[in-house]
Amino acid sequence: MAALSDNELARYARQLILPEVDLEGQARLKQSRVLVVGAGGLGTPAAQYLAGAGVGSVRLADDDRIALSNLPRQLAYTEDDLGQLKVGVLAQRLRDANGGIAVDAHCVRFNGDTAPALLEGVDIVLDATDSLQARLDIDRATYAARLPWVLGAAVGTSGQWAAFDETRREGCYHCLMREPDSPENLGCAELGILGPVVGLVALHQTLLVIRYLVGAALPSGYLHMLDAWTGETRKLGLSVCGDCELCQTLST
């Protein structure tokens, strides 16, 4: 287990005293690597909280540039950053916030071609993509690599999140969603989004990741749905699709 320096003990003092974290959990966080796919409304708060909590290595993947319409909810970015690559700016923000962690930024989209390099050495993947196809790609690649991932999605005033452990015994994302017939899926650009809604979803995802990294089981098999306007949440049980093309046909 990685030893913690005096500086780290002081820095993480408020979370170290939680029995849920403890010294051992903090040391586990230090040894962990998380891949955050997407550096937008979900990815910016998720990456900032992971870095703040002391996750030892944060890897970012995104090929988008910062636009004016991002600023209401992607609060890691400022007006001076407009036009810059999101991963480059976000990586620097994380390094500025916590010099004790490693951050590597990849200006790529997650797909079957980029997955092997992006997943190398990773413990868990946080989906922050706003893309059905990307989530299907993450599901497929992490299943093949026997890695867990945490889905997050938000549109309008609604959000949802779910965790999939490495076994997919409780089902996988392909059990829930089939491959899209068309590459066009309506997202926040078409349907709108309110900043705090996407922030709420991202922080639920981040909590699941931190809990997992400090040693808690990943609560797979549930889709959490949030109506952020009323504050109501629902938890739906997921089931294995008997003819799922991923978890019922591919063995790893």
Active site residues: 188
By the 8 A CB rule, do 140 and 252 touch?
A: no
- Residue number, 138 or 244, with CB nearest to Zn ion: 244
- Residue number, 83 or 242, with CB nearest to Zn ion: 242
| SS percent in the chain: helix, strand, coil, step 5 | 35, 20, 45
Q: Could you list the residues that contact Zn ion (CB under 5 A)?
A: 172, 174-175, 244, 246-247
Min CB(217)–Zn ion separation in Å: 20
- Residue number, 106 or 168, with CB nearest to Zn ion: 168
Min CB(248)–Zn ion separation in Å: 6
By the 8 A CB rule, do 174 and 246 touch?
A: yes
- Residue number, 150 or 247, with CB nearest to Zn ion: 247
Min CB(172)–Zn ion separation in Å: 3
Min CB(178)–Zn ion separation in Å: 11
Please spell the DSSP secondary structure of 87-117, one letter per residue.
Answer: HHHHHHHHHHH-TTSEEEEE-S--STTTHHH
Please spell the DSSP secondary structure of 190-205, one letter per residue.
Answer: HH-B-HHHHHHHHHHH
- Residue number, 94 or 247, with CB nearest to Zn ion: 247
What's at 194, amino acid-wise?
L
Q: 198 phi and psi, to 5 degrees?
A: -70, -30
Residues 6+ apart with CB under 8 A from 251: none
User: Residues, the chain, total?
Assistant: 252
Min CB(112)–Zn ion separation in Å: 17
For 19, 84, 108, 125, the CA distances from 150, given in Å and listed in that order, are 24, 27, 20, 6
